[in-house]
Amino acid sequence: MARRKHSSVEEEAQIDMTPMLDIVFIMLIFFIVTTSFVKPSGLDYNKPEASTATKKPSANIFIGVSKTGTIMMENRLVDIERVTANVERMLAEAPEAAVLIQADKDAKHGLVIKVMDSVKKAGVDKISVSAGKD
């Protein structure tokens, strides 16, 4: 019996791409799940200037206070009486959340203090007030 030689075209090496694609999709899912999405307060405001302002990592809860006294959370108008309840609800979703208050430079000081008190009543110790650098 004569042996036939196989042609080199038939025995061409093939690379299986399935395991690599599985890993890529798993990494994609991991990054989507672990990404924190920024929820803007929904207000256009002018930040007050501060020469000692420092950059903080992004907070999870944004509260906007306009110069007209409007308070916004998650793109919704909120009464000052409901700030505590809304922050408590958001803390239930993310217990390690920090709060960033974005107040207009012409906003009433007393209202900003009331918002800070409401946030403290909800149990948040990490409160920052947004300011721009000179």
pLDDT tens-digit map of 31-50: 888 876 655 555 555 666 66
C-alpha dihedral (97, 89, 33, 99), degrees to nearest 10: -20
Of residues 112 and 7, which shows the higher confidence score?
A: 112
Output the furthest CA–CA distance in the chain (Å, rounded): 101
* Mean pLDDT of the 15-31 span: 90
User: Considering the domain boundaries, does residue 12 fall inside one?
Assistant: no
User: Considering the domain boundaries, does residue 94 fall inside one?
Assistant: yes
CATH of the domain at 70: 3.30.420.270
The answer to whether the predicted template modeling score (pTM) of the entire model surpasses 0.75 is no
Per DSSP (E only), the strands in 17-133 are 49-50, 61-65, 71-73, 76-77, 99-103, 127-129, 132-133
User: Considering the domain boundaries, does residue 120 fall inside one?
Assistant: yes
pLDDT above 70 (res 4):
no
> Which residue range is the domain that position 105 belongs to?
60-131
> Strand, helix or coil at 103?
strand
Output the average pLDDT for the chain: 79
pLDDT above 60 (res 5):
no
The Cα 103–Cα 115 span in angstroms is 10
> Strand, helix or coil at 32?
helix
User: Considering the domain boundaries, does residue 20 fall inside one?
Assistant: no
Q: What pLDDT is stored for residue 27 in this prediction?
A: 93
Q: Quote the number of domains for the chain.
A: 1
User: Considering the domain boundaries, does residue 53 fall inside one?
Assistant: no
**Which pLDDT band holds residue 105 (cuts at 50, 70, 90)?**
confident
User: Considering the domain boundaries, does residue 19 fall inside one?
Assistant: no
